[in-house]
Chains A and B, each alone.
Chain A
């Protein structure tokens, strides 16, 4: 054997999982809920999804070429951000909303802080917060499900205004036949996608379980000890989408297992408090963003204790 061989330090085998395979799995997991959104809210939902994804990918390419970095749009991460942003928009939103949102998410939240893995907030959620505060009317004109596309209040909006008599049934909330952002309504399909992500090892059960569990228990305590309120609270609004797909964003949540639990409980606490006592009907978005900001300090205090470590 005369030819030169490769040398490198161990290990010499690597897992099959790559950044692209992870991001692609997230997209696959989101497809059922996205299709449900299009089914419930009509063609405009499909257009928003398309515009949002295209804008996100285009912005990613533009930013990477501006930063003189390799173009990595084939790693699917911009697709995930674009899709998540679209799922957080009302189906009635005008065409320019997803464009501005995607540019903000990718250019400001992601690339201004160093690109993939360096963003300290979830790009899609931060973009949604930016859009809600800048164009509150466009961002809160909710459609009722169905072909007629009439506007309607979300269940949480109804609860906030005390209009509990018009609340849709729990079954409709589970299926997604309620008002809300285009991708957040079908709790059932979002859970299905979450199970796929757990099975594929993309996310751990910690963040979704502790987040949703905290909301469930707190709503029970604060909402008059009615177990129905607790179930209702976890299936309406953005909780499933937020807890399974947004709070689990790798780079803006703690990497330590203990830290992830604190992060999730904190988000659940804030979500419930905002829903009960805050000015907004829904608290998922701001609670995750606030916990994103707290992530570095949570990580610092939850570093795992080294094997055999007591001394030092």
Chain B
């Protein structure tokens, strides 16, 4: 197989053996869900229900707060217990809590949207928007925004990301094995939007089973090509994936649409298929609960809004020496000090480290080995940007192209001195943005 890839990157241990052979299991119905109105990049949704209201599965309970925003739906049927600020990952957000009546009543708005042939591109985008679909790889960018480029930008290639380059995570892998038809249907819907005959689904070569099954499923549409990618992190980063598959480089500071590409996660495609075929908005997702800190690692289908601690409990609970809880994968996931948080549309993984694994290494002086420079998929010099960032020299950090950092963490991973490279660059980026905002 001719494997495609990008320049730079790293080879962390895959660590997928905990869950890769575990079929997706459906979580028990939660007795209570807490659904935040902000689970995406952009403006939060505004609540459409009040305490005491009876809601049904799939009912819209939050209206999109603008164009870059999506609506929020009830993931269970029951009674609204509260609409108030609650803790979410990285802060707090207005959250709707629903107590389950266990009737599992489907809302009347949830209806199949008809055949793909009969839908126009505009209608498909509207369905995606109304279903509250966001990028499910972890970023949570509203999908309909990606699919609505300005008229002067012609999209000529649609790519689905099945790379799943984050170590530990296997939710996309299991989805590709168990529900390939959904992904292919979602792909066809995306191709229909742009009137394209061809599309690519990229899969890393450490997932031969998924590659085989997806190739089989794609046979019904000769325009859909399953392409093998080299197993390398961050193969699934949007710009790196476009580069690997099409050879195009998204211009610095630009969006994929500038090279005519649209990239979506395979799980996002499956959600799109669902929204069209059954009419069910995005109310559940597959989450990989894994790591040495969990007794029985699983790929589990959860209702959005289920508390993290309840999900972990269904995976055998924690081992005795839990040290760190990470939402997402180990390379770009976000650590949380508590598990009393609701799951969201972007909870792709719950990774639990033991205390030993959680230990943060002591940084030492940079020895100028240049490994970060070779690893950087954006072709930056992370050691220099970081050095300037650490002495608050934002001008020089920006000159060294800090803003082109995609925060993949490859530099920090390879650094033999265990320096906080991406951490400091991330902070510099925020400060540079803040300064730009102020000077406007």
Residues from chain B with Cβ under 8 Å of A4 in the complex:
337
Residues from chain B with Cβ under 8 Å of A14 in the complex:
361, 412-413, 415, 418
Are A250 and B369 closer than 8 Å at their CB atoms? yes
Are B369 and A306 closer than 8 Å at their CB atoms? no
Are B367 and A1 closer than 8 Å at their CB atoms? no
Are A311 and B251 closer than 8 Å at their CB atoms? yes
CB distance from A109 to the nearest CB of B (A): 15
Are A256 and B381 closer than 8 Å at their CB atoms? yes
Closest to A8 in B: B360
Residues from chain B with Cβ under 8 Å of A306 in the complex:
252, 378-380, 401, 404
* Partner pick for B368 among A3, A6, A10, A251, CB 8 A cutoff: A251
* Partner pick for A17 among B13, B330, B378, B414, CB 8 A cutoff: B414
Closest to B325 in A: A5
Residues from chain A with Cβ under 8 Å of B378 in the complex:
306-307
Are B367 and A251 closer than 8 Å at their CB atoms? yes
Q: Does B29 contact A (CB under 8 A)?
A: no
Segment of A18-26, A223-231, A277-285 engaged in the interface with chain B: A18-26
Closest to A77 in B: B367
* Partner pick for A117 among B358, B365, B374, CB 8 A cutoff: B365
* Partner pick for A15 among B359, B373, B404, B413, CB 8 A cutoff: B413
Bound complex: CA of A9 vs CA of B407, how far in Å? 11
Are B414 and A310 closer than 8 Å at their CB atoms? no
Bound complex: CA of A236 vs CA of B20, how far in Å? 55
When each residue 374-405 of chain B gets 1 if its CB lies under 8 Å from chain A and 0 otherwise, what string results?
Answer: 10011111010000000000000000110010
Q: Does B149 contact A (CB under 8 A)?
A: no
Q: Does A137 contact B (CB under 8 A)?
A: no
Are B252 and A312 closer than 8 Å at their CB atoms? yes
Q: Does B271 contact A (CB under 8 A)?
A: no
Residues from chain B with Cβ under 8 Å of A303 in the complex:
381, 400
Interface residues in A260-312 (C-beta closer than 8 Å to B): 260, 303-312
Q: Does A7 contact B (CB under 8 A)?
A: yes
Q: Does A115 contact B (CB under 8 A)?
A: yes
Closest to B318 in A: A1
* Partner pick for B377 among A3, A254, A307, CB 8 A cutoff: A307
Residues from chain A with Cβ under 8 Å of B243 in the complex:
307
Are B330 and A12 closer than 8 Å at their CB atoms? yes
- Asked, given contacts A5-B338, A13-B331, A308-B249, whether A256 binds B373 with beta carbons under 8 Å apart, the answer is yes
- Asked, given contacts A9-B423, A10-B333, whether A1 binds B418 with beta carbons under 8 Å apart, the answer is no
Residues from chain A with Cβ under 8 Å of B361 in the complex:
14
Are A304 and B416 closer than 8 Å at their CB atoms? no
Are B330 and A11 closer than 8 Å at their CB atoms? yes
Interface residues in B309-329 (C-beta closer than 8 Å to A): 309, 318, 322-326
Residues from chain A with Cβ under 8 Å of B251 in the complex:
308-311
Are A21 and B416 closer than 8 Å at their CB atoms? yes
Q: Does B2 contact A (CB under 8 A)?
A: no
Closest to B250 in A: A308
Bound complex: CA of A205 vs CA of B16, how far in Å? 32
Residues from chain B with Cβ under 8 Å of A312 in the complex:
252
Q: Does B113 contact A (CB under 8 A)?
A: no
- Asked, given contacts A5-B336, A255-B368, A307-B378, whether A11 binds B252 with beta carbons under 8 Å apart, the answer is no
Bound complex: CA of A311 vs CA of B251, how far in Å? 8
Residues from chain A with Cβ under 8 Å of B211 in the complex:
none
CB distance from A120 to the nearest CB of B (A): 10
Bound complex: CA of A254 vs CA of B383, how far in Å? 12
Q: Does B335 contact A (CB under 8 A)?
A: yes
Bound complex: CA of A277 vs CA of B12, how far in Å? 50
Bound complex: CA of A19 vs CA of B369, how far in Å? 10
Bound complex: CA of A8 vs CA of B360, how far in Å? 8
Bound complex: CA of A6 vs CA of B353, how far in Å? 10
Please give 8 more A-B residue pairs, beta carbons under 8 A apart, in addition to A12-B353, A257-B373, A306-B401. Answer: A8-B335, A10-B330, A14-B412, A18-B418, A255-B368, A260-B370, A307-B249, A308-B404
15 contacts between A and B (CB under 8 A): A1-B322, A4-B337, A5-B337, A7-B337, A9-B335, A10-B326, A10-B332, A10-B409, A12-B324, A14-B415, A15-B416, A250-B370, A304-B380, A306-B404, A311-B252
Closest 6 CB pairs of A and B: A11-B409, A255-B370, A7-B335, A117-B367, A304-B379, A309-B252
